[in-house]
Chains A and B, each alone.
With several copies, the nearest count.
Chain A
Amino acid sequence: MAKKTYRDALKEGLREEMLRDERVFLMGEDIGLNWGGAFKVTKGLAEEFGEERVRDTPISENTIAGAALGAAITGLIPVAEIMFGDLITLAMDQICNQAAKMRYMFGGQTSVPVVYRSVFGGGKNIASHHSQSLEAWFMHTPGLKIAVPAFAYDVKGLIKTAIRDPDPVMFFEHKLVYDKKEEVPDEEYLIPFGEARIRREGDDVTVWGTFQMLHKSLEVAEELAKEGISVEVIDPRTLMPLDKKTLIESVKKTGRLVLVTEETKTGATTSEIAAIVQEEAFDWLDAPIKRVNAPDTPVPFSPPLEQFFIPSGERIAEAVRSVV
């Protein structure tokens, strides 16, 4: 076992699946020889597997998504990359109207083993068109599975599961976690969808969050421990299927819940989680469920503005303190 970056673990997962099954191929803008992906996730794979299976595409997001879908239903397993999550706006029809609904509309005639990879999040000062977190749109789209790995171990196990899944999977990454390192086993493993992971056990408050905010929450939990507040931190790992059980059990234990994501607040995934938990654990809640999100604005460019936009550790800590 060795420490690997999230980026490398993800690449390893892609590579192992490409070695295992020759139907698996990658397509997207600048994923190939000349660039290796905007975040270098696929670097080296075109060299190893050739330009057919690590396929650079034109800047045609909707057709990338649709072509991947057409390939998926006819015997291949495409992993299509949309370079930035913000650009999925251009592929919403093929992803949400076609891929997500195809099995259903056709009464189960087709299997749709396609994976759409993309990346969310701010922190790089690249402004409103390259920094959003739009996972909530897909949670509101029946027919899609959604993975939101935040750790190197998970990203590898989940990408492998995504590729083997017979349904369309939205596989979301986060810009600021590519460089994070974690122990990643050398032997093969898969992580089932729908199983949250308790990243830290605690008794006073449950914190549920995704991506970079999960990392921040863990740091905050560490700090709060010093103040005597024991925080349990839950990583959903997939949003669809959603592991409600782990979360509800935790809330039943702590009686308090803080939800933390980098999404703009209104209509975020945290709204759904709050709605579920208040419904299913009403009698166990000792305080209102608090949400810590970005404000309802586009993502600003300038560093002080963006830092204000992205939820800070201090905001998370305050939210936790406010419910205990």
Chain B
Amino acid sequence: MAVSKKVLVNLYTRTLKVRLFEEKVWDLFGQNLVPGTLHLYLGQEAVAAGVTAALDKSDWIQSTHRGHGHVIAKGADMNAALAELLGKATGSCKGKGGSMHITQFDVGVLGATGVVASGIPIGVGAALSCKMRGTKEVVACFFGDGASNNGTFGESLNMAAIWSLPVVFVVENNLYAMGTPIKMMCPSIDIAERATGYCIPSIVVDGNNALEVYEAAVEAVKRAREGGGPTLIECKTYRQRGHSRFDAAKYRPPEEVEFWLNRDSVEKIKKIVIEKGALTEKDAEKIRTKLQKEVDKAGEFAVNSEYPKPKDALDDVFAEVL
């Protein structure tokens, strides 16, 4: 696939933006400003970047409990995203959702959900709607390796297949579900093999390589948009930190961690775009500086925002207060 320089820059920018956002989150967390738990996207940036770069603004994504990267890559307002993580009234969910429900509907995020695999049916339903409404919109539905063992996975793949829905299933196989290695819980090497049983084309890619992810996504999105139905993309990737807030992830062999840290997604895409002449090292640095400023500003915004009033807890149950 011939990829334009513009796209390459885009991929680098998206990957890096997600990285810087997550680093900011980690920083704020270190300052005890992030309540609750936290599932960082650090390490998996290339997946969100590559997939969302293949989508239009009017397309949709369905996110997970590890959703910060998805929403940022899809173009979410960083102020509102960070404020949400801090539980502020200015957050995109007015502080009601937090990390596990970080959602910005207006940029096409259907939702982030705390129940593993529960987003898959929702993504499929959105794709049904894209089709029934006669649009060309496409849904990218993210979920983890662990999620692929939940019942809705099979149900949803089947429904998408029989109705030929415009959905791209993106399995982020980061090798673990909490402390559980996927190889203990999945008999095949690739989760992608399960797609075959539903006659869904699938592809396994290096999930730390935003370009590779992007190329697979472009093809899948094209198929979906043209009425060719669903595709499953399995992205092999890795969490750079533990599963959640306090997990030191000691259950992972040091060699494995090292192997993956050496395949850092930001480094990788940076190397590619520079090699392909889309950016110089200096350009890349400029972009980083600009993004870092944005992120820092968002951090300030979030920190300086007010908490919601206690009684706001009673709003938003229904369209009108009953």
**Which residues of A are in contact with B by a Cβ distance under 8 Å?**
25, 29-30, 33-35, 38, 52, 56-63, 65-76, 78, 86-87, 89-90, 93-94, 97-98, 102-111, 124-130, 142-143, 145, 166-167, 194, 241, 295-298, 300-309
Contacts and interface: CB of A to CB of B under 8 A. Distances in A.
Given A94-B118, A130-B114, A107 B93 contact: yes
A97 to B, nearest CB: 6
A128 B309 contact: no
B124 A301 contact: no
B319 to A, nearest CB: 4
B162 interface: yes
Given A58-B185, A76-B132, 17 more contacts: A30-B179, A35-B178, A59-B146, A63-B155, A66-B121, A70-B121, A70-B122, A75-B133, A86-B115, A103-B319, A106-B92, A107-B93, A125-B36, A127-B97, A302-B307, A305-B95, A309-B313
Interface string B137-166: 000000000110111100110110010000
B229 interface: no
A34 B180 contact: yes
Contact of A93 (B62, B118, B314): B118
B2 to A, nearest CB: 33
B87 interface: yes
A84 to B, nearest CB: 9
Contacts of A309: 313
**Interface SS of chain A: helix, strand, loop or mixed?**
loop
12 contacts: A34-B179, A70-B128, A71-B128, A103-B317, A109-B106, A125-B87, A297-B317, A301-B101, A302-B91, A304-B308, A304-B310, A305-B310
Name the residue among B117, B146, B180 with the largest chain A CB count within 10 angstroms: B180
Interface string B89-131: 0011111111011011110001101111110111111111110
Closest 3 CB pairs of A and B: A70-B125, A66-B121, A129-B114
A318 to B, nearest CB: 16
Given A130-B114, A295-B314, A305 B96 contact: yes
B121 to A, nearest CB: 3
A97 B150 contact: no
B60 interface: yes
A87 B150 CA distance: 12
A297 B311 CA distance: 12
A71 B251 CA distance: 29
A130 B105 CA distance: 22
Interface of B: 35-37, 60, 62, 87-88, 91-98, 100-101, 103-106, 110-111, 113-118, 120-130, 132-133, 146-147, 149-152, 155-156, 158-159, 162, 177-181, 184-186, 251, 307-319, 322
Contact of A305 (B132, B147, B181, B308): B308
A104 B184 CA distance: 37
A127 B317 contact: no
B317 A303 contact: no
A62 B317 CA distance: 22
A129 B100 CA distance: 9
A90 B317 contact: no
A194 B320 CA distance: 13
A102 B91 CA distance: 16
B239 to A, nearest CB: 14
A56 B184 CA distance: 9
Nearest to B128: A71
A145 B310 CA distance: 24
A98 B118 contact: yes
A73 to B, nearest CB: 7
B310 A107 contact: no
Contact of B150 (A25, A90, A145): A90
B292 to A, nearest CB: 27
B122 A35 contact: no
Nearest to B139: A70
B132 A25 contact: yes
A78 B125 CA distance: 10
Contacts of B181: 34
B118 A97 contact: yes
Contact of B87 (A25, A34, A301): A301
A78 B126 CA distance: 11
A302 B95 CA distance: 5
A58 B113 contact: no
A32 to B, nearest CB: 8
Given A67-B122, A70-B121, A106-B93, A301 B98 contact: yes
A61 B36 CA distance: 24
Name the residue among B110, B314, B316 with the largest chain A CB count within 10 angstroms: B316
Contacts of A296: 317
Nearest to B316: A108
Contacts of A75: 129, 133
A301 B310 contact: no
B122 A98 contact: yes
Contacts of A70: 62, 110, 121-129
A309 B115 CA distance: 21
A103 B101 CA distance: 11
Nearest to A112: B319
A110 B319 CA distance: 9
B135 to A, nearest CB: 9
A29 B149 CA distance: 12
B121 A103 contact: no
A305 B35 CA distance: 12
B105 A127 contact: no
B121 A106 contact: no
Nearest to B87: A302
Contacts of B156: 60, 63, 66-67
